[in-house]
Homo-oligomer: A and B are copies of this chain.
Amino acid sequence: MTKTADQRRGEERILYDAFMAACPTRQVFATIGDKWAGLVVNALADGPRRHGELRTRIAGASQKMLTQTLRTLERDGLVTRTVTPSVPVRVDYELTPLGHTLVPILAALKGWAESNIGDILQSREDYDAKVVAA
């Protein structure tokens, strides 16, 4: 009976896993909270884009990450992928209706971020200054 605490942790962890598996928010967060997904959705917000266009618009994303992100979004039904089998293949990505409903949410988040980034940066400076002093 000495490991009661540890055992409890283990049980909590199992409960947590079950809870998480059923938690919609986290599952969704796993996709759209992704490093690139938000940028991609924004880049697609005002119309379809070709793969190459996205690479340009989201300069900095490696081709690997871009493809990977697009696959995830496609899997979740947020974007469609349309292949036109011409001579150099052409692939277009476009937001689905569901994907479009996400845009305002992201916009709200973006708005909040832009409104409060000043305070946050200031807070970080203060905090870091205090830590150095301590």
Contact A110 B25 (CB under 8 A): yes
A87 in the interface, Cβ–Cβ < 8 Å?
Answer: no
Q: Specify how many copies of this chain sit in the oligomer.
A: 2
Contact A114 B77 (CB under 8 A): no
Total number of A residues with any Cβ neighbor in B under 8 Å: 42
A16 contact set on B, CB distance < 8 A: 59-60
Contact A120 B28 (CB under 8 A): yes
Residue of B nearest to A113 (CB): B28
Q: Is the interface of A mostly helix, strand, loop or mixed?
A: helix
Contact B29 A113 (CB under 8 A): yes
Choose among A12, A20, A28, A102 the residue with the greatest number of B CB atoms under 10 Å from its CB.
A28
A122 contact set on B, CB distance < 8 A: 77
Interface residues of A (CB under 8 A from B): 12-13, 15-17, 19-20, 24-25, 27-29, 31, 33, 38, 59-60, 74-78, 98, 101-102, 105, 108-110, 112-114, 116-117, 119-124, 127-128
Closest 10 CB pairs of A and B: A16-B60, A77-B123, A24-B117, A28-B113, A33-B33, A12-B59, A75-B127, A25-B113, A25-B110, A24-B113
Given A19-B59, A105-B112, 20 other A-B contacts at CB below 8 A? A12-B60, A19-B60, A20-B60, A24-B117, A25-B38, A25-B109, A25-B110, A25-B114, A27-B120, A28-B116, A28-B117, A29-B113, A31-B120, A33-B38, A76-B123, A76-B124, A77-B123, A78-B120, A98-B120, A105-B109
